Structure 1
Amino acid sequence: MNSDERIYSNFSRLSLLAKKGRGLSWRPPYSKISPLSGLQKSSQRGRGLDFVELRHYFDGDDVRCIDWRVTQRTGQAFIRLYAEEKDKSTALLIDLRSSMFFASDGMMKSVLASELAAIIAGRIQVEGDRIGALLLTDINIESHSAMRGEKSLLSLLEKITQLGGRLPAKAATEPPTLDDALYLLCQQKIKESQIFIISDFIDFDNSTSLALITQLAKHNNIIGLRVSDPLEEELPNSAVLMGDGQLQLEVSGDKGQLRQRYNQHTADHNKQLERCFLSIGQPYLALTTHQDSWQQLVAISSARRR
């Protein structure tokens, strides 16, 4: 496999980003609190609750959770995490289909999606919440059971690395769609959870996809993260040759009308997607392959706090 981290994400890189994600502070642009909120919550709500894990103290953690015995014995601050059975879970829908294996420069869309998922999962894990995921590929939709703790997080990162490393993949006769993954989420009947949809939304349908997201939003919070490459947004004025490993398309420099139609179609699709999320009161974020994943989320975090 190519060792270039812009083409394929690796486990070490995702693990590092997950650790950095623990310190991410983000106040979402809506009233409900998400796992990325800057408002820290205490995972210890009283006696008789299930013990989740013992971990290092990080800035922003509730000092009431510090285990002073372990801290005194080790010389480092540790906290104990407890959780009730009804704690809020988080579901990640990560698109790793062949359409995500694209970049004109910077990193592949699949790499950006993987890194965003790692950062978000790291932030969730430090809260002590359960993390589940659906990984959409050209072959099937793989699931990661919602569980808490470091072991579950590392298992998810390994699965993301493996599936992303198979791109580009030979699609099934009827490859799964974004709607298939959304429908599967609806079938799971999850409630009071945070759902992150990380995709290029290339096959988002204004009727069926919106209906499924609306159904999910009735009982959950949803954040849509669209990953894209600048070349997809607007074709350059110069000649362009694009391919998917099997077919090629050449757009010559004098095809101004074709270029204009393409740019308008893309702009309309993106506006419709944004309006769909706004219509149900759920946030929608656009991220690009030409910028670092961590820096983009930090910039969003800073903007939301202003």
Structure 2
Amino acid sequence: MNADGQVYVSLGQLMALQFQARGLSFIARQPRGSLLAGNHASRLRGRGLNFDELRRYQPGDDLRHLDWRASLRTGKPVVRSFTEERDRPALIVVDQRMSMFFGSVRSFKSAVAAELGALAAWMVFGAGDRVGGVVFNDERIDAVAPLRSRKRVEALCSRIVQHNQALNASNPDHEGDGQLDKVLQQCLALAGHDHLICIVSDFAGAGPRTLQLLRQLSAHNDVIALQVYDPLALNVPRTGQLRVTQGQLQVELAVQKQQVRQPLGDFLGGRLKAVASLLRRSQVPLLMFSTALPAADQLRDELGRRR
């Protein structure tokens, strides 16, 4: 199989993305232009502070940490000291369903999602946190438990590659069977609280149950959605023939005809807007990625970290 990074990816390609993930973070303070700045920043908790002990005040201590009750009780200024939480678990959720096996410009959605999943894993690993994930297709869901280990990143990337290289135009498409919701339900079981959950998908088949599950997940965890889309959803060509496939069924559409192009554009664009609306209602931060551009470049732009 030719793993060119545009239709299929290889383990070597995903492992090499470690270098492109350097300096990127979902949690660090974001510049003003970033989607995660402002209101969104408060939704990404980062590492918290755990109470450590009460001790005597020392010059230079933050006055906001003064414990007034203990100070009045002892007659001397006492401060609360804290230690930073470390080793935060993260779940990188990567969609490799048949709805992702499509691309009209540069890459397939499935390949872009695979790269984004690997980049997210390397970002988490670089921050010193535990990396785990869930990789799924139309029929199978594979989970990798979080662990702070390069080998665990490799294990997750290996699962992504296995699912990615199993995609084939002859595979059946089960978009309407609720697989996305099953995955989110499994995430609820895996992530009790204080996880970072990064979901990379086109969110095909999302509905009211998806919204409910996203709200449940984000109640006690930080959830961020990376939606992969193809530019065809925004701009259907005006000339030529467009071949649409679903499993073994192939249909050629004469897009130069207004009665064909208009409904197709409305359908594809409507799906994209519906998912964006659903994610806004769930209050999950949404980053959007096109198949027309390299995943790493778009991630830098979306996080506002491009120099």
TM-score category of the 2 structures, normalised to the smaller one: 0.7 to 0.9
Cα deviation, 1:143-185, whole Å, max 9, x if unaligned, reads 1111111111111111211221111273498966111111111
Asked if 2 retains the 8 angstrom alpha-carbon contact of 1:135 and 1:142, the reply is: yes
Gaps of 5+ in 1: 47-81
Specify the code of the residue in structure 1 equivalent to 2:204.
I
Asked if 2 retains the 8 angstrom alpha-carbon contact of 1:230 and 1:288, the reply is: yes
Residue 237 (str. 1) matches residue 226 (str. 2): no
Rounded to whole Å, the distance in 1 between the matches of 2:144 and 2:277 is: 30
Task: Within 5 Å, give how 1:13-92 maps onto structure 2.
Answer: 13-25=13-25, 27=30, 28-29=36-37, 30-32=40-42, 34=44, 87-92=87-92
Partner of 1:275: 277
Partner of 2:141: 141
Larger Rg belongs to: 2
Rounded to whole Å, the distance in 1 between the matches of 2:133 and 2:289 is: 20
Partner of 1:104: 104
Gaps of 5+ in 2: 31-35, 53-82
Structure 1's 218 and 13: CA in aligned 2 closer, same or farther, altered over 3 A? same
Structure 1's 272 and 226: CA in aligned 2 closer, same or farther, altered over 3 A? same
Moved more, 290-299 or 10-19: 10-19
Output the TM-score relative to the length of structure 2: 0.76
Aligned residues: 263
Shift of 1:191: 0.7
Structure 1's 175 and 269: CA in aligned 2 closer, same or farther, altered over 3 A? closer
Partner of 2:297: 295
Asked if 2 retains the 8 angstrom alpha-carbon contact of 1:138 and 1:170, the reply is: no
* 1:180 alignment partner, one of 170, 179, 182: 182
What secondary structure, in the 3-state scheme, does the structure 2 residue paired with 1:155 have?
Answer: helix
Rounded to whole Å, the distance in 2 between the matches of 1:3 and 1:91 is: 25
Rounded to whole Å, the distance in 2 between the matches of 1:87 and 1:33 is: 19
What secondary structure, in the 3-state scheme, does the structure 2 residue paired with 1:32 have?
Answer: helix
Cα deviation, 1:222-251, whole Å, max 9, x if unaligned, reads 111111111233321122122245111121
Partner of 1:122: 122
Rounded to whole Å, the distance in 1 between the matches of 2:245 and 2:232 is: 13
Shift of 1:106: 0.7
Rounded to whole Å, the distance in 2 between the matches of 1:242 and 1:298 is: 32
* 1:250 alignment partner, one of 244, 252, 265: 252
Structure 1's 243 and 188: CA in aligned 2 closer, same or farther, altered over 3 A? same
Q: Percent of pairs identical after alignment?
A: 29
Rounded to whole Å, the distance in 1 between the matches of 2:279 and 2:306 is: 18
Output the TM-score relative to the length of structure 1: 0.77
Shift of 1:270: 2.2
Moved more, 108-117 or 123-132: 123-132
What secondary structure, in the 3-state scheme, does the structure 1 residue paired with 2:106 have?
Answer: coil
Structure 1's 232 and 152: CA in aligned 2 closer, same or farther, altered over 3 A? same
Shift of 1:214: 0.9
Shift of 1:254: 4.7
Specify the code of the residue in structure 1 equivalent to 2:213.
L
What secondary structure, in the 3-state scheme, does the structure 1 residue paired with 2:20 have?
Answer: helix
Rounded to whole Å, the distance in 2 between the matches of 1:3 and 1:189 is: 33
Rounded to whole Å, the distance in 2 between the matches of 1:176 and 1:268 is: 20
Rounded to whole Å, the distance in 1 between the matches of 2:44 and 2:192 is: 15
Structure 1's 295 and 272: CA in aligned 2 closer, same or farther, altered over 3 A? same
Specify the code of the residue in structure 2 equivalent to 1:215.
Q
Rounded to whole Å, the distance in 2 between the matches of 1:4 and 1:22 is: 23
Asked if 2 retains the 8 angstrom alpha-carbon contact of 1:104 and 1:230, the reply is: yes
Q: What value does the CA root-mean-square deviation take over the aligned residues?
A: 3.0
Asked if 1 retains the 8 angstrom alpha-carbon contact of 2:24 and 2:305, the reply is: no
What secondary structure, in the 3-state scheme, does the structure 2 residue paired with 1:111 have?
Answer: helix
Moved more, 147-156 or 169-178: 169-178
Rounded to whole Å, the distance in 2 between the matches of 1:274 and 1:172 is: 23
What secondary structure, in the 3-state scheme, does the structure 2 residue paired with 1:302 have?
Answer: coil
What secondary structure, in the 3-state scheme, does the structure 2 residue paired with 1:12 have?
Answer: helix
Shift of 1:24: 1.6
Shift of 1:42: 11
Rounded to whole Å, the distance in 2 between the matches of 1:34 and 1:241 is: 41
Shift of 1:262: 2.4
What secondary structure, in the 3-state scheme, does the structure 2 residue paired with 1:213 have?
Answer: helix
What secondary structure, in the 3-state scheme, does the structure 2 residue paired with 1:287 have?
Answer: strand
Shift of 1:25: 4.5
Structure 1's 275 and 243: CA in aligned 2 closer, same or farther, altered over 3 A? closer
